[in-house]
Amino acid sequence: MDNNSTRDVAIAGSARNDAANTMIDALLRVEADSSAFAWYARVPSPSNPADELSRGDLDHFLSSGALRVDVHS
């Protein structure tokens, strides 16, 4: 995660609003179903391989040969 608040909520397993608690419930369910013991740590943006993608910056990936696929519902 590259967001301290998100990391803190994942570690605590609870949040201050219903939407975040719904996501935490889903996260905890996945952890329990997979018998995983998760470790949450902050990853600075430059070290996060998904950072550019999460910001809509596809240039690096497209120039590396990745294919862009648009999925329409």
Structural contact between residues 24 and 9, judged by C-beta atoms closer than 8 angstroms: yes
Could you report the per-residue pLDDT of 16-55, keeping only the tens digit for each?
A: 999 999 999 999 999 999 998 888 888 888 888 888 888 8
pTM assigned to the model: 0.57
pLDDT for position 1: 64
* Over residues 48-63, mean pLDDT: 86
pLDDT for position 73: 62
4: left (phi over 0), alpha (psi -120 to 50) or beta: alpha
Structural contact between residues 8 and 40, judged by C-beta atoms closer than 8 angstroms: no
Residues 61 and 23: their CA atoms lie apart, in Å, by: 29
Q: What is the CA radius of gyration of the chain?
A: 16
